[in-house]
Structure 1
């Protein structure tokens, strides 16, 4: 653990060399000034204090000399402390910022399949608590380096004053090393457990917040409170164990230098009584050990942080070295305009951890400028197929092509530039309507209103207090589900994609509104291809071709009337959709007449 901890520190020093070097220089100045204080006190005691005591008088010149020597040492000490603290803080926070950026960039590079296997609370903990734990050691580190330098100077001075007395005092360091070995053995597993429990607490909290509607509507407040209480109590108990271990270790670290000081005073007094050593030399030695007592704690702080740093570093590296990042080539769509075509060739895909493929041998052609509807029962693989078409996940085998270019060979960012997905579960940022449509890109009000018009969102947005500038709250909490879906659709339309993928993106709106949205898309479709996961007849009948899926396979495809006539499974499903829509319309009509 000690070797690995030093490796983490060395890596951090190489990453932030300039502030680390300045902090170490400041720490060396502080160490030299601190040891110089002992030498100055020994010198003053020998040259001025003892003669003044013997002569029973003090000269003004002697007082000014003493004052000047001590002030000079103090100034150097203060400069060293300022450099050490300021630049140690800079180095530590620079490392935290750098690694947080690296972790979040890696999150963006990793495919959805990797994210599906890692809870979001754990990912938050990796980016925050684990990064902080890794580099917290840089706060006491420069001081600890200065202490090593200080110990070298002090040890040399002690040996020059009296080798035997120096040997007695320096016995404290084997004791410090032995205490650290025992500490590392007990602390490492406790720190590992505590860091894991931090991630679990974050995950429970995140789930509870995300599922606030479910918790409230199902009356599960007490159960969620109990679940959170159980996790936090486990974390509390783990942190108490860490604190107890520190509570035993740190007093030992503090006591060992004090014992060294007492030993030096005892042996030194005995030597003075025998005439083998002068009082000034004993004072100098005792003062050296007294001023070393606090700085040596910095070594203890570093040693105490090392297990936490190693555990945090391992958890961060688990993310940074994760496999599954998607390969990107150098191909581009150049200046191609107009609707894009898409093609899947014998595609097979299984979700991570599952042996049975979700998509099996699907071959599908989506002509440029067409509207293709994916229809199938729940679990047929419709959403997975849309993710494959947009290369949100990579197929285990087979090929996905967009405009006759293999999706794996396209540059990073090429597909999002021409294709857009509107999912059933829409996400809204805690931002204005404009910000949620443009996602921070510059845009004219006219273009935003046009996208909202196509998505049938113009009417209710104009009624909002500040129109486009109305902040809709976290996850669009001030809007209904249908309104959120329409803004999400406007977000996609505003980008004028060449390929638009709708994954049941109008499920929360009324059928009449859905028909108006589809009509608007038909008007705007001259420049785009549409792939839609469809459940309603209005959507299905709009499509140029319908693809019917069952168990991850394409059972049949063709225009809606042809499939209705020749595919029994498709006919049964569509009739079920129609019956459900009729029942809903009947219920709605009864409610209006009551």
Structure 2
């Protein structure tokens, strides 16, 4: 089983049936691929015609009248055949290469589209490295097989069949000897296919695991450096790289054995044929021209025979890559649009109403016999239009999970979530997610400009002036005006995942992105956790002004977030056990007081850490200023 992905299902399908799946994407390029194959076949057949010309020359002018004209004419014919053969080879490349890249592009586009369509639950199970290796390495293997492997496999097989036929027609006894020598080669090819198929799939899966290690290490480079675990990461990488190397060596050994056999057996057969053919020619039972033509044809046939090992390996690699590709493509999304979608009613003037009715949720079993326990065991909660509700609970109580059920990042196991009276499962995902906006605690930004990140959910056809006004307002509300001071202002590219910004800056840009879409419902998963108290208070004040008419659910991980809410809902043991104002719940609900105390202790601890860091930074600056003053004094003393 691949660590970064679910185990591949056991497949009894043949290699042919697996590779035929590629017709779904390769059909538009099929005419040019077939035409390229025909030109390659024509070139190969022309090569087989040369020995027949040599046979005629040897048996004719060389052994009879010795006509120079006939010899020159035969040489000219051979030259013409060679020129035409070279032209056909060029045609094959010109015809096939371009459509092959088009097929690869179409497959890569469909794969990425499928990845975007699949739900969060799928991405929870699959590592990024496995998906990356499928979209890059596997598709490159498939493209190379389509533009070279399948064409040359067909051409080589046809060349061998036609060539052996000519050899039998030219020298029947020697031809039969050559055919009998093919029996062990067929057996070796069958054994090779069985052995190579498994190791080829293992190599591709291990390459995906290795890509996952690199991806995780690059994303977590700050953690590795901070904890001094670079050597451990290197050891893990080397271990997996060595495992991949071992598999690749096993592949190479398997292929080398069959390549050696496919090279040695035909040559041994030719040696045997020579031992039989020369006495036959000497006895007059076989013409010299026929003997020359036989060996010239055998030399041409031996080349594709020896190449069969490489082509079979390429085909089996393509099979493994195709299986991995369709494993993702064939995954059925568990969160899908309804066949007959409903439409949301017009946006209410005072805000939308959200209802969670007996909502239950458990993560999928993921191949286990027993389904994981339910996280939510019957949540009933109504978010009144235009109000802000804080969701409070202990760590691990399911607050973030509940929040993600509203935009259908996950689907409820039972119960229903309704938006303005419509079950969210009856809406298209596009319409639902245009109405519901989310700001996560861990903000994910993209390697694009600040402008593009903030306006990500805004329609592309929005007039430029209106989009700019929306951008400015969102940045002001989120207190993200710092973006205007970046080197290129709002057009500054902030780097992968926005890591060129601080944690608080990333949170504010992500909050601005959530506000910019002007949603009916705003879901905030503690989006201010990385801000200092002063900035949080300023952002909270602006949010209270801006959220008028927007129904908001705030997942509170610290007490200061509760101040944003009109009401507080307490999540306990998978259920909502109380809903009320902060003051009322303090007076009447023991679990709420306990949760708030735990959050306050956590908040105090974080504040203490923040103060310690500030003091260390201040002390560092003071030390730096003292060193600068000492250097200045020394410089002045030297000058005097």
Describe the shift of the 1:435–1:496 C-alpha distance in structure 2 as closer, same or farther (beyond 3 A). same
The partner residue of 1:359 within 366, 373, 376 is 376
Asked if the contact 1:257/1:292 (under 8 Å) is kept, the reply is: no
Asked if the contact 1:451/1:494 (under 8 Å) is kept, the reply is: yes
Asked if the contact 2:152/2:311 (under 8 Å) is kept, the reply is: no
Q: How does 1:170-319 map to 2 (within 5 A)?
A: 170-319=179-328
Asked if the contact 1:12/1:95 (under 8 Å) is kept, the reply is: no
Is 1:331 the equivalent of 2:342?
yes
The partner residue of 2:514 within 492, 498, 503 is 492
Looking at structure 1, the residues matched to 117 and 470 of structure 2 have their Cα atoms a distance apart, in angstroms, of 31
Q: How does 1:67-466 map to 2 (within 5 A)?
A: 67-90=75-98, 92-134=100-142, 136-138=144-146, 139-329=148-338, 330-333=341-344, 336=347, 338=349, 339-353=351-365, 355-439=372-456, 441=460, 443=464, 444-458=467-481, 460-466=482-488
Describe the shift of the 1:585–1:242 C-alpha distance in structure 2 as closer, same or farther (beyond 3 A). closer
Asked if the contact 2:167/2:298 (under 8 Å) is kept, the reply is: no
Q: Which moved more, 1:243-252 or 1:300-309?
A: 300-309
Describe the shift of the 1:465–1:47 C-alpha distance in structure 2 as closer, same or farther (beyond 3 A). same
Describe the shift of the 1:13–1:473 C-alpha distance in structure 2 as closer, same or farther (beyond 3 A). closer
Q: Report how far residue 287 of structure 1 moved.
A: 0.4
Looking at structure 2, the residues matched to 344 and 261 of structure 1 have their Cα atoms a distance apart, in angstroms, of 81
Asked if the contact 2:210/2:237 (under 8 Å) is kept, the reply is: yes
Asked if the contact 1:5/1:309 (under 8 Å) is kept, the reply is: no
Q: Report how far residue 528 of structure 1 moved.
A: 2.1
Describe the shift of the 1:386–1:228 C-alpha distance in structure 2 as closer, same or farther (beyond 3 A). same
| TM-score (structure 2 length as normaliser) | 0.85
SS of residue paired to 2:68: coil
Asked if the contact 1:187/1:242 (under 8 Å) is kept, the reply is: yes
- Matched with 2:629 is none
Asked if the contact 2:171/2:294 (under 8 Å) is kept, the reply is: no
Describe the shift of the 1:259–1:88 C-alpha distance in structure 2 as closer, same or farther (beyond 3 A). farther
Describe the shift of the 1:93–1:583 C-alpha distance in structure 2 as closer, same or farther (beyond 3 A). closer
Q: Which moved more, 1:420-429 or 1:535-544?
A: 535-544
Looking at structure 2, the residues matched to 18 and 425 of structure 1 have their Cα atoms a distance apart, in angstroms, of 50
CA displacement 1:148-193 (0-9 Å, x = unmatched): 2223332332333232222122233323211111212322332233
Asked if the contact 1:22/1:87 (under 8 Å) is kept, the reply is: yes
- Matched with 1:483 is 505
Q: Report how far residue 205 of structure 1 moved.
A: 1.8
Asked if the contact 2:255/2:309 (under 8 Å) is kept, the reply is: no
Q: Which moved more, 1:30-39 or 1:437-446?
A: 437-446
Is 1:6 the equivalent of 2:16?
yes
Looking at structure 2, the residues matched to 3 and 509 of structure 1 have their Cα atoms a distance apart, in angstroms, of 56
Asked if the contact 2:352/2:520 (under 8 Å) is kept, the reply is: yes
Looking at structure 2, the residues matched to 32 and 576 of structure 1 have their Cα atoms a distance apart, in angstroms, of 83
Asked if the contact 1:26/1:79 (under 8 Å) is kept, the reply is: no
Describe the shift of the 1:586–1:508 C-alpha distance in structure 2 as closer, same or farther (beyond 3 A). closer
CA displacement 1:358-384 (0-9 Å, x = unmatched): 111001111221111111110111000
Describe the shift of the 1:364–1:258 C-alpha distance in structure 2 as closer, same or farther (beyond 3 A). same
Describe the shift of the 1:336–1:378 C-alpha distance in structure 2 as closer, same or farther (beyond 3 A). same
Looking at structure 2, the residues matched to 373 and 516 of structure 1 have their Cα atoms a distance apart, in angstroms, of 18
Looking at structure 2, the residues matched to 528 and 236 of structure 1 have their Cα atoms a distance apart, in angstroms, of 57
Asked if the contact 1:342/1:365 (under 8 Å) is kept, the reply is: yes
- Matched with 2:634 is none
Asked if the contact 1:346/1:363 (under 8 Å) is kept, the reply is: yes
Looking at structure 2, the residues matched to 279 and 340 of structure 1 have their Cα atoms a distance apart, in angstroms, of 95
Asked if the contact 1:482/1:506 (under 8 Å) is kept, the reply is: yes
CA displacement 1:308-356 (0-9 Å, x = unmatched): 2333333223222224432312223365465332211111111234521
Q: Report how far residue 426 of structure 1 moved.
A: 0.8
Unaligned runs of 5+ in 2: 1-10, 366-370, 620-640
Calculate the aligned-residue CA RMSD, in Å: 2.6
Describe the shift of the 1:403–1:3 C-alpha distance in structure 2 as closer, same or farther (beyond 3 A). closer
SS of residue paired to 2:320: helix
Q: Report how far residue 134 of structure 1 moved.
A: 4.6
Q: Report how far residue 62 of structure 1 moved.
A: 4.9
Looking at structure 2, the residues matched to 311 and 530 of structure 1 have their Cα atoms a distance apart, in angstroms, of 48
- Matched with 1:569 is 591
| TM-score (structure 1 length as normaliser) | 0.92
Is 1:25 the equivalent of 2:47?
no
SS of residue paired to 1:497: coil
- Matched with 1:540 is 562
Q: Which moved more, 1:98-107 or 1:208-217?
A: 98-107
Q: Report how far residue 237 of structure 1 moved.
A: 1.2
Looking at structure 2, the residues matched to 360 and 10 of structure 1 have their Cα atoms a distance apart, in angstroms, of 46
